[in-house]
Amino acid sequence: MSNPFEDDDAQYLVLVNDEGQYSLWPATIEVPAGWEAQFGPDARQACLAHVEESWADMRPLSLVRETESAGS
């Protein structure tokens, strides 16, 4: 049995949670609670490219907000 998270021939979704964190997710598996599909279904490489383009700051949003508040 192959790993559904590493199948180059499968369709994937790009998920995002409330903290702005991204996840590559097999389209055939139910989206877990707390996550929302933002992109796809599409090929694994297209989803990875979307994550690379969209997720520039890997810090959780709560940390970004805290840092910005401390700086003002």
Distance CA 31, CA 71 (A): 36
pLDDT in tens, 4-58: 889 999 999 999 999 999 999 999 999 999 999 999 999 999 999 999 999 998 8
pLDDT score of 58: 87
Distance CA 12, CA 4 (A): 10
Task: List domains and CATH numbers for the chain.
Answer: 11-71 (3.90.820.10)
Q: Mean pLDDT: which of 2-6, 11-15, 57-61, 64-68 is highest?
A: 11-15
